[in-house]
Structure 1
Amino acid sequence: MNDYKNKSAAGLLSSDDKITLQQWFKTWLYEYRVNDLRPSSLEKYNGIYNNYIKNSEIGVIKLKDLSTSNLQAYYNVLMSKHKKSPNVIKTINKTIKCCLNQAVKETYILFNCSNNVILPKLASKKEVEIFTVEEQQQFIRSLDNHRHRVLFILVFATGLRLGEVTALKWHDINFEKNELSVKRTFKRVTILGKTEGNKTEIIEQPPKTEHSKRTIPIPSNVIIELKKHRKNQLAEKLKNKLIYVDNDLVFPNEIGEPTDPRNLDRSYARALKNAGISHKKFHALRHTYATRLFEADVPLKTVQELLGHSDISITANIYTHVMPKQKIAAVEKINSLFAL
C-alpha cells in the first residue's frame, strides 16, 4: 500500500490498467505517428500490427502485465514454429520498443520491457549482386529499341533507386552542368482507410532520408542518350496528345503518367532474360554503379554521398566485396618503400 501511494504521488501509476498491447499499439500508430510517418512506413507498421500484434499471444496482454518473458517466448515461437527470420524478429521488437516508449511517457507502464529481450543473431549478409563489366556491356547492347533503355543506362550511370528514377523530372536535370538532382521518389503503397479494401496507389513522397536528396554528375555520353530520349518522348507525346498528361516526367508511361515500379521491375526481368543474363534484382544496377566507382578508386566518402547513404559505415558494410581489392591496391602504393 505504501509503495502504491508513493507511485501515485509521483504520477507513476498507469492511467488505464485495462488497456492491452494491441489497443495501445493501434492508438500509438493512428494517433501519435500517423502524421509524421511516410505513407510507406505507415503501411509497414500497419502490417506489423495486423500480422504480429492484433489478436496475438502478446497483443491481448494488458500493458501493465506485459513482461520481457512474454515477448521473449513469443519471439521464440515465431522463430521455431513459424520459421520467421531473425531480421523479422528484430523489426517487430524495434517497432514494439517505439510503441512502448510512448506508453512509458504516458505513464501507462513504468518501464519498457522490450529493452531486455535477447534478440537472435542476424544471419550474415549475402554478397550484393552486381553485373560484371562484360554483363553490363552485354545488357546495354541488347537494349536497342527497348522502351526503358535509357532508364536502365541512367541507373547504371548514377545509382538511382527504382523509386527515384521513376520520379525524375526534366527540370531535375541540368544539361549545362551535366548533373541531376534527386528531390522525390515514387512508391506504390496501400492507402489505409482511404478506399474500401485498402487499394494501392502510386504516391510521390520525399526521398528516403535527407541524405538521399542529392546532386549526381551524369557522364557526358549518358547526357547524349537523355537528349535523344527527350526527342523520342516528344514524338510519343504528339502521337498520344489527346490523352497524354504532361507531368514533366523523364520516364513516364505511354500517356505521361508515372511508370508503375512493379511493371518496370517486370520489364527489367524480361530484358535480362532476353540478354541471356541470369536474373538479378533491379537494385543490382545501383550496386553495380557503386562497384564501378570503387574499382575506379573513387574515395569511400564520395561514393557515400553519390549513393545518398546517411552514414559512411552503411556504404562500407554493403560493399565489403570491393574492399579487399582496394586494400591490396592501397598497400601496393607504399610497396616501393620496402625495396631495401
Structure 2
Amino acid sequence: MAGKTKRRGHGEGTITKRPDGRWMAQAVIGHDPATGKLKRITRYFRTYTEAADWLAEVRTEKRTGQFVEPSKVTVAGWLTRWLEVYVKPKVKPASYANYADVARKHIIPALGSIPLQSLRTNTIQEFYNQKYENGRLDGKGGLSPRIIHLIHQVLNGALKQAVREHLIHHNPAEYTTRPSLKYREMSPLTAEEVARYLEAAKQDRLYAAFLVELTTGLRRGELLALTWDCVDMTNGTLTVKRTLARVRLVDEGKSELRFSEPKTESGKRTIPLLPQVVQELKRHKARQNEEKLFFGQEYRDHNLVFATPMGTPIEPRNFHRKHTEILRKAGLRHVRLHDLRHTFATILLQEGENPENLRDLLGHSRTSTTLDLYCHSTMEGKKKAVERLKTVLFLLQ
C-alpha cells in the first residue's frame, strides 16, 4: 500500500501512505492570491485514523471560521508589528515608549523566539512567575506587581489582536494570573499642614502655582501647561486644555518636553478660582512681566502661566524638587506632589461636597473612579462619625 493515495471528497484533502509506514495528510486551505494555485498544508501521522481525524478537524474549523493558517511569525515579530501598527498611532508617545520598553526589556528576551502559534498559557504563567520572583534587570529581586500587570497589558493586547487577525485560535494570556496590585497609600495634608506648606511656599517665585494646585486639584502636567488665555481673571476661572510631560522618543533614543491634549474629554474642564487665588495670579503675572522686561529679547514667551524666569516650560522633575524643598522648609513629612491633588479632593469630600461635582473638578470620567481613589476615612472623620451617635443614642438620657 506504500504510496497509495486515498482521495476524499472534493476539497476535503488527501491521505497517502508513505514508504516509511506513516500516513501523509494534505488539506486544501484556499488559493494563493498571487498565483491562484491551491494552498495546502501537510501533516504526518502514525495511523490512517489519526490523519482522517486531522482532516476532519481542519474542515470543521474552516466551516466555523476558526481555522488559523500555519504561520512562522514569532512572538517578537508579532509584538513589533503590533506596537508599530496598532499602538503607536493610537496612544500618546509616553505610553508608546512604556509599552515598547516593556516589550524590548522583558517580553522579547524571554518569549520572543517562540513561534506565535506555539505560545502556551503555562509558558506565559511561568514567565510572569519568574519576573515576579527575580525579574529585575539589575538582578536585585523581583518586579513589582504593577510592572507585572503592565507586562501582561502589553502581551495580552498583542495576543488579542493576533486572535482578531486569525493568527492564533485563542489568547493564551487570558487565563494567566498575576500578583495582586498593592495601591500606594495616598497621604493628604491636614488643614494645619496646608497652612504651614503655603506659608513656606510664599518664599518661592512659583508660590502661585502651589496655591493653584491646592485649590484646584490640577494634575502636575495640567498645571505646567496652563497658558494665560486659559485663565479668566474677570470671571475667576481657569480652563484645562492640555498637559505637559517629558516624553521618551523610542525611535530617536532621546526625550523631550511635549504638550498634548488630556487623555479623555472629561480632562478638558473649567474650574472656578477663589478670589484670593485670582489676586495672587495677578501679582504673579506682574512679576512675570518684570522678568520679560529684564531678559528682553532673550525671553522665550510661550504664554505659560508658570514658566522658568526665561519663559520656557518648567521641567516637571524640577517642579517636584521645589515641592520637596517647600516640605523641608515647612518641617513637614514627605508627601508626593500628587498628594496635593489628593489633599484638595479629601478636604472637599470631608466638607460634604457632592461626588459628581468633585468628579468634574478632578477631570475623572466616572464618579466611581473619584470615590475609589479619594473617598477614604481619616481619624478626624471617624471621630466625627461616632460623635453623631450622641444625638440618637443618648438623646433621652
Specify the alignment match of 1:158 in structure 2: 216
Comparing 314-323 and 153-162, the one that deviates more: 314-323
- Note closer, same or farther for the CA distance 1:192–1:337 as it changes in structure 2 (3 Å cut): same
Q: What is the distance in 1 between the residues matched to 2:345 and 2:270?
A: 15
Q: Does 1:214 align with 2:273?
A: no
Q: Flag the structure with higher strand content.
A: 2
Q: Where do 1:1-340 residues align within 5 Å?
A: 1-8=55-62, 12-15=66-69, 17-56=71-110, 58-82=111-135, 83-123=142-182, 125-193=183-251, 195=252, 198-322=253-377, 325=381, 329=385, 332=388, 335=391, 339=395
Q: What is the distance in 2 between the residues matched to 1:86 and 1:49?
A: 17
**AA at the equivalent of 2:245:** K
> Secondary structure, in 3 states, of the residue corresponding to 1:61?
coil
Is there any run of 5+ residues in structure 1 with no aligned partner, and where?
A: none
Q: Which has the larger radius of gyration?
A: 2
* TM-score normalized by the length of structure 2: 0.79
Q: How far does residue 273 in structure 1 lie from its aligned partner after superposition?
A: 1.2
Is the contact between residue 168 and residue 251 of structure 1 (CA under 8 Å) also seen in structure 2?
A: yes
Is the contact between residue 127 and residue 321 of structure 1 (CA under 8 Å) also seen in structure 2?
A: no
Query: In the TM superposition, what whole-angstrom CA distance separates every residue of 1:91-128 from its partner, at most 9, and x where no partner exists?
Result: 211221211111111110011111111222223x3431
* TM-score normalized by the length of structure 1: 0.91
Q: How far does residue 204 in structure 1 lie from its aligned partner after superposition?
A: 0.7
Q: How far does residue 337 in structure 1 lie from its aligned partner after superposition?
A: 10
Q: What is the distance in 1 between the residues matched to 2:158 and 2:66?
A: 18
Is the contact between residue 14 and residue 64 of structure 1 (CA under 8 Å) also seen in structure 2?
A: no
Aligned length: 335
**AA at the equivalent of 1:132:** T
> Secondary structure, in 3 states, of the residue corresponding to 1:114?
coil
Q: How far does residue 295 in structure 1 lie from its aligned partner after superposition?
A: 2.2
- Note closer, same or farther for the CA distance 1:327–1:75 as it changes in structure 2 (3 Å cut): farther
Q: How far does residue 323 in structure 1 lie from its aligned partner after superposition?
A: 7.6
Is the contact between residue 107 and residue 151 of structure 2 (CA under 8 Å) also seen in structure 1?
A: no
Larger RCO (alpha carbons 8 Å, 6+ apart): 1
Query: In the TM superposition, what whole-angstrom CA distance separates every residue of 1:194-214 from its partner, at most 9, and x where no partner exists?
Result: x3xx11100011113221111
The percent identity for this pair of structures is 33
Query: In the TM superposition, what whole-angstrom CA distance separates every residue of 1:49-98 from its partner, at most 9, and x where no partner exists?
Result: 11211221x22211101111111111111112231222222221122121
Comparing 87-96 and 165-174, the one that deviates more: 87-96
> Secondary structure, in 3 states, of the residue corresponding to 1:113?
coil
Deviation above 6 Å: which 4+ runs of structure 1?
Answer: none
- Note closer, same or farther for the CA distance 1:98–1:144 as it changes in structure 2 (3 Å cut): same
Q: What is the distance in 2 between the residues matched to 1:114 and 1:215?
A: 41
Is the contact between residue 349 and residue 375 of structure 2 (CA under 8 Å) also seen in structure 1?
A: no
Q: How far does residue 335 in structure 1 lie from its aligned partner after superposition?
A: 4.8
> Secondary structure, in 3 states, of the residue corresponding to 2:128?
helix
Is the contact between residue 327 and residue 333 of structure 2 (CA under 8 Å) also seen in structure 1?
A: yes
Is the contact between residue 119 and residue 172 of structure 2 (CA under 8 Å) also seen in structure 1?
A: yes
Q: How far does residue 326 in structure 1 lie from its aligned partner after superposition?
A: 7.8
